[in-house]
Amino acid sequence: MQDQHKVNRQTAERHGWTVVHEFTDNDKSAAKEGVVRDDFEAMLRALRAGKLPNGTPVQGVVIVAEYRLARRPGDYERFVEAFTYRDGRVFADARGTKDLYSEDVESMGLFGAVISKMEVRKMQRRMRRSHRARAEEGRPSGGPRPFGWNEDRLTLNDKEADLLRKAAKDFLSGRSLHSIVREWQTLGVKTSLGNEWTTQTLKGALLNPRVCGLRELDGELVRDASGELIRGKWAVIINEDEWMAIRAVFNARKGHFIGRDMRIGRPHPADYRDPVYLLSAIVRCGRPREDGTLCNTPMRVNVRKGAGHHDYTCRSKAEGGCGGCSRRGDLVDAYVSEAVLAKLEERAFAASQSDGSWGKDEELKDAQERLDELTRQWNARNITNDLFFKLAPGLEKEIAQLRAERENFKASAELRRTRANTDVAEIRRRWCLPEKDGGFPISTKRAYIREALHAVIVHPAGQGQKVFNPDLLEPIWRED
Ligand SMILES: [Zn+2]
C-alpha cells in the first residue's frame, strides 16, 4: 500500500497537481460481488459535489491501476459520469494523463456505452452552467414549465398553485403522498407535461425549493457571495418555513421503512442497497395499455403472508404502473436463472469452437515433403553427403519446431475449452448453492443476469390462469 501512495503522489507531482485525498479499497476486492466499496462510493460523491466532505475542492483523479477502479459492470461508467459531471477536471493513471471528456477515452475500452453518452453529458454540462448563472441572478431557469406557474415561470397558475399548496399542507399534517396522488388522478390533474402524477413526481414537486422562492443546485440551496440565500423573482406557493418542514420530513424518512400510516418505521439494514430479490427492477410489466403500448413499468416485489413465495407485481397507478399484472416470483426466478445459465453455456461453447484451427499444417507438410525428397535423392546418390548434411539438419529443426508448436496449440486449445466450460460449470454450481456454502450472493447473480439481458417482460396470464407458463416471460437479451 505504501508503494501505491508513492506512485500516486509521484504521478500527481509530475503533473504539478496536489493530492488532497486518497481513496483506497485495497482491503476489499473490487471484483467481489456484494461488497459495498465505501471508498469508491465516497469518491463518486466527492466528484459529483466537486469537493470533499471537509470542503476541499476536487479537481481531478489519479489512479494507481485501471483494474482497481472498475471491476464490476457499471462501476467505470458511474465513475466517468461522476468525473465529467463538472468541467475542467484532470485525470491520470500510471501511463499518463487522459482526457475523460473526449472521445479518446475509448482507448480505455472498458465499456463502449460510455462513449455514446459523451455528447449527452457535454450538453448537460452546458445546461448546468447556464442554470447556475441564472440561479445566481434569481432568474427562473429554462426547461419544462413548473407545475403551479404560468408559461412566464414568474406568475402563479392559480388552479395548480392551489392544488400544490393544499398538497403541501395535507402532507405536513400527515396525509400520504399516495392518497394525494389518488385524489389528483381522480380529479384528472396532470403534470405540466400532461402526464399522470405519481408519488415520485409529487415528492419531487414538493421538495423543489422553487415552491418557496429558493433554488437548489447540485444538492445545495443557492446563496450569494456573503452566504445569504438568493430569493427568486417568481411568486411563491408556500413559505420557506413550510418548505423546510417538508424537507425535514423527507430527510427523517430517508433510510427508513415507512408504514401505511406514514409513521417512520425501522431503519433500512446496512446492506439495503443490495436488492433482496433476484429480479427486482429487471422484470417489467408486459400488459398492453389502452393505446396498445406495453405498460413496461418495473415490477415490484410483493410478499403475501403465508404464501411461501414472493410475487412480482406491477406497481399501482399512483406509482406509475397499471396494477394489472402479477406472477409467482420463485418460478420466474428459477426460469430466468436457467435461461441465463443456458445462455452462458451457449456462449462458452461458441468461444471454445472458434479459433479451432492452428493454421500452419501446410507449412509442416511442406517441410516434411522437402526432407523426404532430400533423403530420397541422397539414398539414390543423386546428391553428395556434403550437401545432404548441410540441408537436412535445418529442415529437421524446422519440422521439430512446427510439431512442438502444433502440440502446444492443441494443448492450449484444449485448456481454453476446458476453462470456458469449467467457468460456466462453476457458475452453475455456485448459483444453486446457499450463500453460506460458497454460493453466489444475489448481487452476483444479478450482475450475471444484467450482463446477459436488459429486462424480462412479464406478459399477462389472463383471468384465472393458474398454471405457470414460461412462454409468457420474454427475456430481452443483450447483443453478443
Ligand atoms: Zn403494468
DSSP annotation string for 255-324: TEEE-TTS-EEEEPPTTTTS-SSTTTTTEEE--B-TTSSB--PBPEEEE-TTSSSEEEEPPPGGGTS-S-
Q: Does residue 111 share a domain with residue 171?
A: no
- 329 C-alpha to ligand 1 centroid (Å): 16
Q: What CATH number is associated with residue 231?
A: 3.90.1750.20
Residue 329, pLDDT score:
92
pTM of the model: 0.42
Q: Does residue 192 share a domain with residue 90?
A: no
- 321 C-alpha to ligand 1 centroid (Å): 5
- 341 C-alpha to ligand 1 centroid (Å): 27
- 255 C-alpha to ligand 1 centroid (Å): 27
- 295 C-alpha to ligand 1 centroid (Å): 5
Residue 287, pLDDT score:
92
- 305 C-alpha to ligand 1 centroid (Å): 23
- 181 C-alpha to ligand 1 centroid (Å): 18
Last residue of a domain, one of 249, 267, 285: 267
- 297 C-alpha to ligand 1 centroid (Å): 6
Residue 103, pLDDT score:
44
Q: What CATH number is associated with residue 32?
A: 3.40.50.1390
Last residue of a domain, one of 226, 250, 267: 267
Q: Grid coordinates representing 336?
A: 430466468
Has residue 173 been placed in a domain? yes
- 457 C-alpha to ligand 1 centroid (Å): 10
How many separate domains does the chain show?
A: 2
Last residue of a domain, one of 267, 293, 326: 267
Q: Does residue 176 share a domain with residue 109?
A: no
- 331 C-alpha to ligand 1 centroid (Å): 19
Q: Does residue 111 share a domain with residue 163?
A: no
Residue 258, pLDDT score:
58
- 187 C-alpha to ligand 1 centroid (Å): 22
Residue 262, pLDDT score:
53
Q: How far is CA 157 from CA 184, 189, 214, 397, in A?
A: 16, 13, 18, 91
* Residue with grid cell 408556500, as numbered in its chain: 238
- 284 C-alpha to ligand 1 centroid (Å): 8
Q: Does residue 198 share a domain with residue 104?
A: no
Q: Does residue 162 share a domain with residue 107?
A: no
Has residue 387 been placed in a domain? no
Has residue 148 been placed in a domain? no
CB atoms within 10 A of CB 140: 18
- 322 C-alpha to ligand 1 centroid (Å): 4
- 324 C-alpha to ligand 1 centroid (Å): 6
Distance CA 444, CA 428 (A): 12
Positions of the chain with pLDDT under 50:
1-2, 29-33, 103-117, 260, 270-274
Has residue 190 been placed in a domain? yes
Q: Which domain holds residue 44?
A: 2-117
Residue 283, pLDDT score:
93
Backbone angles phi, psi at 288, to 5 degrees: -70, 140
Q: Does residue 261 share a domain with residue 163?
A: yes
H helices within 433-452, ranges in order?
Answer: 442-452
Has residue 307 been placed in a domain? no
Has residue 207 been placed in a domain? yes
- 289 C-alpha to ligand 1 centroid (Å): 8
- 462 C-alpha to ligand 1 centroid (Å): 13
Q: Does residue 196 share a domain with residue 110?
A: no
Q: Does residue 241 share a domain with residue 163?
A: yes
Has residue 234 been placed in a domain? yes
The closest alpha carbon to 105, from 95, 118, 94, belongs to 118
Distance CA 151, CA 216 (A): 21
Has residue 428 been placed in a domain? no
- 456 C-alpha to ligand 1 centroid (Å): 13
- 282 C-alpha to ligand 1 centroid (Å): 14
Task: Enumerate the β-bridge partners of residue 476.
Answer: 455
Residue 456, pLDDT score:
94
Q: Does residue 74 share a domain with residue 166?
A: no
Q: Does residue 181 share a domain with residue 83?
A: no
Q: Does residue 170 share a domain with residue 256?
A: yes
